[in-house]
C-alpha cells in the first residue's frame, strides 16, 4: 500500500463536502468575489455557525453581526481560510485515538507553523503570505489518517521517535515505509481534495526541501517554519533554539535568502498571536495553556 491507496480506500471519508471543496479552491487561488463566498458558506450550517460565532467574539470588535457577508468582512480572508480548512479537518478526523494524538498540541503546532510561514513570506520576494499560511497550517495533516487507519504502526513510530517531529519522520520511513510518511499521506490527501500543486509540494517536502520540484521557495519557507514552531510547543524551551537551527536544511536558507537570525524574533512574534488563531479553530484547545 502507498499513500494514495491509503487515502483512496477510506471510502469517501477524505472527500471534502462540495461546499467546502469549492470554498477551499476559491480561497486558495483568490479568484473569487465576496458575494460568491458568502453564498457558499450559507449552504453549510456547521461552517456558517462557526463563522458567526467567530465574528462575534474577541479579538473582533463592533456591533453584533448576524449575516454571512458582514461576518466574512469582519474576520478577513486569512482567518476565513483557517476556519474553512480546520472545520473540515476537525469533522473528518473527529474519532482519532486519544492515546496517539493530543489534538490540541497538533493544532497548536500547525497554527504556529502557519503563522511563521506567513511571517517569513513577507521577507521573501515571490512568496504569497496567505498561501504560505495555509501551507504551514496544513503541513502535518497527513498524520491524522495514519493515526486513524494505521494506529498500531503509529504507536511503533511514536515509541521509536519520542516527541520529536524530526525523528518521527525518520521513524515513519523505517516503520511504515519510505513512501508512507505523513508528508506523503498529506500530499495525497490534498491531491484528493483537488487543491493546488503548490500546496501539495509544501506538504510533501516540508521535511526534505531539496526534493521540491516546482516550488522550492514555498517548501523551504514551510520547512523553516516547522522548526520555528517546534520552539513554541509547550514542552520546548528557548535553550533548544540551537538544536532547531541544526535541523534546518541549509538548502532552505540558501533558497529563501534568510538566515537563522530570523528564528528568535519570529518565535516572540507568533507566540501570543497563535492563541487568537487557536480560538478560531477550537476554543477548547486554549484550556491546555
How confident is residue 288, by pLDDT bands cut at 50, 70 and 90? Answer: very low
CB-neighbour burial class of residue 144 (10 A; exposed 0-12, middle 13-18, buried 19+): buried
> Could you tell me which of 233, 229, 230, 220 has the C-alpha nearest to residue 259?
220
Using CA atoms, how far apart are residues 133 and 121, in angstroms rounded to an integer?
9
226-251 pLDDT tens trace: 989 888 765 455 555 555 556 799 99
Model confidence, pTM: 0.78
Q: Which residue has the cell 490527501?
A: 189
SS3 217: helix
84-138 pLDDT tens trace: 777 766 666 667 777 888 777 888 888 889 889 999 999 999 998 878 888 898 8
**188 in Cβ contact with 6 (< 8 Å):** yes
- Residue 183 sits at the vertex; the CA angle it makes with 180 and 184, to the nearest 5 degrees, is 45
Give all domains of the chain, ordered by start, each with its CATH number.
Answer: 3-12+96-288 (1.10.3210.10)
Amino acid at each position: 500500500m502507498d499513500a494514495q491507496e491509503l487515502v483512496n480506500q477510506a471510502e469517501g471519508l477524505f472527500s471534502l463536502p462540495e461546499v467546502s471543496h469549492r470554498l477551499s479552491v476559491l480561497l486558495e487561488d483568490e479568484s473569487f468575489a465576496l458575494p460568491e463566498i458568502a453564498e457558499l458558506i450559507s449552504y453549510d450550517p456547521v461552517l456558517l455557525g462557526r463563522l458567526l460565532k467567530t465574528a462575534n467574539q474577541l479579538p473582533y470588535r463592533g456591533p453584533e453581526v448576524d449575516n454571512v457577508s458582514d461576518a466574512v468582512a469582519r474576520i478577513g480572508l486569512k482567518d476565513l481560510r483557517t476556519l474553512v480548512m480546520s472545520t473540515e479537518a476537525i469533522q473528518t478526523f473527529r474519532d482519532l485515538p486519544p492515546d496517539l494524538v493530543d489534538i490540541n498540541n497538533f493544532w497548536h503546532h500547525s497554527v504556529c507553523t502557519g503563522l511563521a510561514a506567513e511571517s517569513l513570506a513577507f521577507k521573501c520576494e515571490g512568496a504569497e503570505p496567505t498561501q504560505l499560511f495555509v501551507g504551514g497550517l496544513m503541513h502535518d495533516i497527513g498524520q491524522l489518517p495514519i493515526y486513524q487507519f494505521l494506529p498500531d504502526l503509529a504507536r511503533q513510530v511514536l515509541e521509536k521517535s519520542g516527541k520529536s517531529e524530526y525523528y518521527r519522520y525518520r521513524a515513519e520511513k523505517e516503520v511504515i515505509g519510505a513512501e508512507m510518511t505523513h508528508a506523503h499521506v498529506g500530499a495525497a490527501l490534498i491531491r484528493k481534495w483537488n487543491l493546488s500543486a503548490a500546496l501539495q509540494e509544501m506538504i510533501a517536502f516540508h521535511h526534505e526541501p531539496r526534493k521540491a520540484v516546482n516550488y522550492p521557495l514555498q517548501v523551504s519557507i514551510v520547512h523553516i517554519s516547522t522548526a520555528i514552531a517546534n520552539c513554541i510547543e509547550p514542552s520546548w524551551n528557548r535553550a533548544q533554539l540551537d538544536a532547531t537551527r541544526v535541523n534546518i536544511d541549509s538548502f532552505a536558507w540558501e533558497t529563501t535568502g534568510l538566515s537563522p537570525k530570523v528564528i528568535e524574533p519570529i518565535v516572540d512574534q507568533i507566540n501570543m498571536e497563535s492563541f487568537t488563531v487557536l480560538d478560531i479553530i477550537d476554543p477548547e484547545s486554549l484550556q491546555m495553556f
